[in-house]
Structure 1
């Protein structure tokens, strides 16, 4: 294979674990409506949010892990490993899908609140379970807050060809991905959803962020390091982040929005998440460059106890993400049916993150136990 890409150094990159753990916590908090605690998440301070970070890191990790396999063992082995990972994510999605619907159905009956079924888009399943389940298995039907994993699955299934091309023509692959992104936005391409509408995360647009993560891992960051460390980027990047902060806050506070020209406010509000608005992409790129500039791979702080829970959640990302989706429904129902006070909002947020962290530590311990070599049985002295 004529490889032009530059693979990252071997070994675990704790920056990815730290940021992925943060993304999982933020997604959980953002999935709880009317929760004051989610004001600490990224979405309130700029155009991009934790979903952008999750997709980017997924693309980065897929390239980081499977590019080396593809180079050392060939395209077929690397491709089958990617498809195997997509299958694992699909199985997790189906399991979560079934539990999620059962959870919402039970809570709706327990609290005599049928609006929950409509709020989480599972009412159709209650009326036509066979067809809705079939569409769910095809990833066409997705309850509320279950849109990220189908996107991840779809991108992983086509990524073997993309990754093989990236290893040969890194910048060209990113350019083609960007052209597909522009074409999808211009022509309105998307994937139909069931029973109506289209995917909330348009895969033709969001694929660019996934591929950008791969480009970043395979040499794009190192190629751009001079610009990333330049004073020009520091000034321009900081100015854009400040602009994004002001425009995002304008969407949160009507008084600030009314003080702006209508044409300026309307250009950025509401934030186009489905088709990944260009200003959203630019915001995330600037953040990624700033992280590269100021968060080194070999930082001693990754070993600090304060960061260990979030790093552990990043290392067990799939399990933590799925549990967060489940727990967010419970938290929302508690706030609606029991108490919506500020203290309750803080309580359900903290308890949810603690439970996700406990699960992450358990899964980490369980995997170590499974990989540990079996001890030789002690010799048994037979009685004479």
Structure 2
């Protein structure tokens, strides 16, 4: 009764009593999984190398050893991290606040794409004019812009026109724009949401659904209706689905089966370029598995990524000591600033292409432009991290100073 009187502000007619309501302690945030940053950084490095045509170091990237490549890694981890960040906001602050923050992120991605589009076009146009070689504009899919800049700019704003090597960013924008609905479903009916995502993927592949590009005969290189499955699957794993998969990850039989599938896919891919392995895939099997479409995320690409992820999750624990070593730091830094590093990588890849085509095509030059590009990406990521840390330290001072 005494506590009740104090809560009403009165205790025998006395006033001024301080009311102290019980404060629910906040749970400590889970430790950051550095594997996500590490492998996203690795994906960004591989994307940069793959974007340099004819680069000898391309032979060492993931796409030469199986059906999937760095794009699958990037999309999966993007979905996983988005669910980690905004799922917590939705649980603590509600649907409206979480949706607003997701859409703000989508807007940031959109602005980054427009910036990338303008600067990238300026870079390509300058090089094409300077070298008097219009083939660069044609090869990078910007010749249409030079012929019809007004129409092309509008189509770019609508995400229908995309220069070469920029396609994954519009995909990311669309996936994030639709993520509030997906996240709402994952917080309430996670398994049903994943099933609906798989159903959309299936219908898109069976019916040939895709987003229209520009010119009209062009479609999106990354079909959002298909690639959303990998993004949603990553988010589902982050929202508790990984716990259901834990027995599979720990299963030795599952790991052996995954390794067998990865080995088989390796030989299939090698048969495309190694004469000694030509004809390795029987015609009857080839009719079933081909084409292994990247645009529509062929089932074999999705399965290859799942097998790869299973093996990595089995052998690379969250507390892997290497993740805190100096050797892993460059990859982690790039992974923590994925948007900025991706945009920088697009600029650097075109610059590397020019060097190889116009200055020297020697093996040493291939190595130098590849290593120099990665060093530039790491340096920029380190600068971004330093700036963020500096802003955090200035936070209380800025608040006190009113600036």
The TM-score by the shorter chain falls in which range?
over 0.9
CA displacement 1:240-282 (0-9 Å, x = unmatched) = 0111111111122244123432333454455310000001101
2:247 pairs with 1:262: no
Shift of 1:11: 2.8
Larger deviation: 220-229 or 316-325? 220-229
Equivalent pair of 1:140/1:193 in contact (CA under 8 Å): yes
- Please tell me whether residue 289 in structure 1 is matched to residue 329 in structure 2: no
Partners of 1:104 and 1:263 in 2: CA distance: 45
CA distance in 2, matches of 1:234, 1:110: 54
Give the total of aligned pairs: 371
Q: What residue number does 2:181 align with?
A: 161
Question: 2:88 aligned with 1:68, yes or no?
Answer: yes
Match of 2:232 in 1: 211
| Contact 1:43 1:50 survives alignment (8 Å) | yes
Question: Counterpart in 2 of 1:344?
Answer: 365
- Greater displacement, 129-138 / 260-269: 260-269
1:103 corresponds in structure 2 to 123
TM-score normalised over the length of structure 1: 0.93
Q: Is the 8 A contact 1:8 1:218 kept in 2?
A: no
**Is residue 126 of structure 1 aligned with residue 158 of structure 2?**
no
Superposed CA RMSD in Å reads: 1.7
Is 1:220 the counterpart of 2:241? The answer is yes
CA-CA distance at 1:334 after TM superposition: 1.1
- Residue by residue, what CA displacement relative to the aligned partner does 1:320-341 show, whole Å, maximum 9, x if unpaired? 1100011000101111111111
The match for 1:20 among 15, 40, 54 is: 40
Select the residue among 355, 368, 371 that pairs with 2:389. 368
CA distance in structure 2 between the aligned counterparts of 1:124 and 1:304, rounded to whole angstroms: 47
Identify unmatched segments of 5+ residues in structure 2. Answer: 1-26, 399-403
Is contact 1:205–1:276 with CA below 8 Å preserved after alignment? yes
In structure 2, the partner of 1:235 is: 256
Give the structure 2 partner of residue 93 of structure 1: 113
Question: How far is 1:38 from its partner?
Answer: 1.6
Contact 1:20 1:53 in 2 (8 A): yes
Residue 81, structure 1, aligned to residue 101, structure 2: yes
Higher relative contact order (CA 8 A, sep 6+): 1
- Residue of structure 1 equivalent to 2:321: 300
Rg (Cα) greater in structure: 2
What is the distance in 2 between the residues matched to 1:97 and 1:263? 44
CA contact (8 A) 1:63 1:217 kept: yes
Unaligned runs of 5+ in 1: 1-6, 378-384
Q: How far apart are residue 366 of structure 1 and its match?
A: 0.8
